[in-house]
């Protein structure tokens, strides 16, 4: 690979990474299965306590 092509490839890769950092983050954070079960259990308890009053 010649020098010019290699430099252009590095510059393009750096520009792509910088552009990706500026892009909005639409992805929701990962919630583990154990945490999801805890949240579901907690919400069930909340609904049973509120309907039990």
Q: What is the pLDDT of residues 6-19, one digit of tens each?
A: 999 999 999 999 99
Supply the pLDDT for residue 8: 98
Residue 33 CA, distance from chain mean position: 16
- Distance spanning both ends of the chain, measured CA to CA: 74
The first and second tokens of residue 34, run together, are: 């154990």
Residue 1 pLDDT class (50, 70, 90 cuts): confident
pLDDT of 32 > 60? The answer is: yes
| Separation CA 45–CA 52 (nearest Å) | 10
| Separation CA 53–CA 51 (nearest Å) | 6
């Amino acid at each position: 690979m010649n020098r010019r092509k290699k430099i252009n490839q590095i510059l393009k890769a750096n520009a792509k990474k910088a552009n990706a950092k500026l892009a909005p983050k639409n992805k929701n954070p990962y919630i583990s299965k154990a945490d999801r079960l805890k949240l579901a259990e907690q919400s069930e308890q909340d609904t049973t306590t509120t309907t039990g009053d």
